[in-house]
């Protein structure tokens, strides 16, 4: 690439190894689409598991070595040696979540006259200390290359989180009535019913919560995307499965199982509900942009390493809430993450305050800046320096 090339024409390779679930490819696919559509980069996404990718983007054919979707080139990355059909080296190389990019690729990166901007995209953490490490360069032990660590986060000095430019407009134009008929097959519930979406890992607290919703005075409509929590729903309702299309009703609780939808449509579920149970990383972020109260099932790590991250997120999110609402939220999130039995009534007493806070938080978070914008700014700066 010549020195005159505009940053908007940069070529970018994103390497993604799917560890488990949908979060790794979920984040990479979002970033890839955004870099393409909002910044005009030529993006190639190298993914080691196309079957998981297919769930988020049904257009992806898991049998193909190379294909295109949403303007992005997608290659099946056959770990660990394969580095794309041709050993073309991009201007910006992103390794997601410390996946190891092939040695042959790194060796050619080092021989390129103009060195690529090499970024390791880290997992999101609400801990403020990530600002100290964000964009810190690390020289390669053998090659004349430098890698920067890009830390998404909630505080100033971090990389922020993903927010597409059209997200607010899409949310504002969301047709809830049509969505209920199309996705759930029923009329939109009237406002006296609390609509709850439930996207979670297996969770020992679910039985107690389902019983509380069943026995409560206020009607609850539960929307459950098919997945790891579905077995618990089936057991609770005494059904063989709780797969897409299934519905069940007991006491004050009615529940509907939904099929998995392509990623751009996932937000609609969050917009349709009054409160969202989300998990992992990407749905956790989307729930924040939905500007509704939410409960986070954090991805559990060995030795409870996830708990400080849960508390860090709570600290940001509950900032400015009155003590009672803040305490209720701490208690409920911790209970849902395995420490005790959740108390729905106590938590939901604070509904109005939680709703107001959710709106304010979405504004505060937007001020940190979008992750892709921040990444592009860093790449443009580093590319000009190279
Ligand atoms: O699937 P997750 O649990 O993902 C992860 C991974 O486990 C990863 O290894 C771990 O490190 C990380 O969490 C922290 O949850 P997450 O991140 O919310 O990803 C789910 C994706 O699935 C998200 O992009 C939204 C998408 N999705 C759809 O596209 N359609 C759907 O119908 C649903 C329910 C989800």
Closest atom of ligand 1 to CA, residue 18:
9
Ligand 1 mean position to 76 CA, how many Å?
20
Q: Is 61 helix (H, G, I), strand (E, B) or coil?
A: coil
Rounded to whole angstroms, the Cα distance separating 31 from 43 reads 10
Catalytic residue among 13, 24, 164, 254: 24
**Could you report the per-residue pLDDT of 321-336, keeping only the tens digit for each?**
999 999 999 999 999 9
The closest residue, in CA terms, to atom 30 on ligand 1 is: 261
The model's pTM: 0.95
Give the pLDDT confidence of 231-241 residue by residue, as tens digits.
Answer: 999 999 999 99
Class assignment of domain 7-161+368-385?
A: alpha beta
Architecture of domain 167-366: 3-Layer(aba) Sandwich (3.40)
Give the whole-angstrom CA distance, residue 123 versus residue 149: 10
pLDDT exceeding 90 applies to what percent of the chain? 88
pLDDT of residue 96: 96
Q: Give the residue ranges of DSSP H helices in 273-370.
A: 282-289, 307-318, 323-336, 344-348, 351-366
Is residue 81 predicted with pLDDT exceeding 70?
no
| pLDDT (average), residues 132-143 | 94
CA of 283 to the centre of ligand 1 (A): 6
Place of tokens 């964009």: 135
The ranges of the chain annotated as CATH 3.40.50.2000 are 167-366
Q: Are 15 and 101 in contact (CB under 8 A)?
A: yes
From the alpha carbon of 278, which atom of ligand 1 is closest? 18
Instruction: Tell which one of 16, 20, 21 to mutate to probe ligand 1, the residue whose CB is within 8 A of the most ligand atoms.
Output: 21
Q: Which atom of ligand 1 is nearest to the CA of 20?
A: 9
Q: Quick one: pLDDT at residue 5?
A: 44
Give the other-Cβ count within 10 Å of 252's Cβ: 17
Dihedral over Cα of 151, 152, 154, 158: its sign: positive
Residue 4 has pLDDT above 50, yes or no: no
Least confident of 8-22, 24-38, 226-240, 277-291: 8-22
Place of tokens 């049998």: 63
24 is an active site residue: yes
Cβ-based burial of 353 (10 A; exposed 0-12, middle 13-18, buried ≥19)? middle
pLDDT score at 86: 59
- What is the pLDDT, as a whole number, of residue 339? 79
Closest CA to 347 of 275, 272, 269: 275
From the candidates 91, 127, 281, 370, give the one annotated as an active-site residue: 281
353 counts as catalytic = no
- Given a cut of 70, is residue 374 above it in pLDDT? yes
Return the best residue to mutate from 20, 121, 273, 283 for the ligand 1 pocket (most ligand atoms within 8 A of CB): 283
Pocket lining for ligand 1, CB < 6 angstroms: 19-24, 26, 56, 123, 199, 225, 260-261, 263, 266, 279-284, 299
- What average pLDDT score do residues 217-243 get? 98
Q: How far is the CA of 115 from the centre of ligand 1 (A)?
A: 33
CA pair distance 75, 13, nearest whole angstrom? 10
């Amino acid at each position: 690439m010549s020195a005159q090339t505009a940053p908007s024409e940069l070529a970018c390779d994103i390497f993604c190894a799917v560890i488990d679930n949908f979060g790794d490819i979920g984040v990479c696919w979002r970033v890839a689409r955004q870099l393409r559509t909002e910044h005009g980069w030529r993006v190639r996404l190298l993914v080691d598991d196309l079957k998981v990718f297919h769930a988020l983007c049904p257009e992806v054919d898991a049998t193909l070595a190379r294909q295109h979707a949403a303007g992005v080139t997608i290659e099946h990355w056959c770990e660990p040696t394969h580095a794309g059909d041709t050993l073309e080296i991009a201007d910006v190389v992103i390794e997601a979540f410390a996946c190891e990019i092939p040695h042959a690729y790194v060796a050619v990166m080092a021989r390129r006259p103009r060195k690529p901007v090499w970024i390791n995209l880290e997992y999101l953490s609400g801990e403020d200390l990530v600002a100290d490490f964000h964009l810190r360069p690390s020289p390669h032990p053998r090659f004349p290359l430098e890698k920067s660590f890009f830390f998404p986060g909630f505080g100033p000095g971090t990389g922020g989180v993903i927010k597409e430019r059209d997200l607010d407009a899409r949310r504002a134009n969301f047709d809830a009535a049509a969505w209920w008929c199309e996705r759930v097959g029923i009329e939109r519930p009237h406002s006296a019913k609390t609509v709850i979406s439930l996207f979670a890992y297996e969770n020992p607290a679910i039985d107690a919560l389902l019983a509380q919703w069943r026995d409560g005075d206020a009607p609850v409509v539960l929307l459950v995307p098919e997945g790891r929590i579905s077995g618990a729903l089936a057991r609770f309702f005494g059904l063989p499965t709780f797969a897409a299309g299934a519905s069940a009703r007991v006491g004050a609780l009615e529940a509907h199982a939904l099929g998995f939808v392509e990623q751009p449509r996932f937000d609609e579920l969050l917009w349709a509900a009054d409160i969202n149970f989300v998990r992992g990383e990407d749905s956790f972020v989307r729930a924040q942009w939905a500007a509704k109260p939410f409960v986070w099932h954090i991805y559990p790590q060995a030795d409870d390493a996830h708990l400080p991250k849960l508390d860090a997120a709570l600290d940001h999110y509950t900032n400015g809430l009155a003590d009672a609402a803040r305490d209720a939220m701490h208690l409920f999130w911790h209970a849902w993450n395995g420490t005790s039995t959740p108390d729905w009534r106590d938590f939901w007493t604070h509904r109005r305050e939680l709703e107001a806070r959710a709106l304010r938080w979405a504004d505060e978070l937007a001020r940190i800046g979008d992750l892709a914008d921040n990444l592009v700014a860093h790449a443009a700066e580093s590319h000009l320096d190279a």
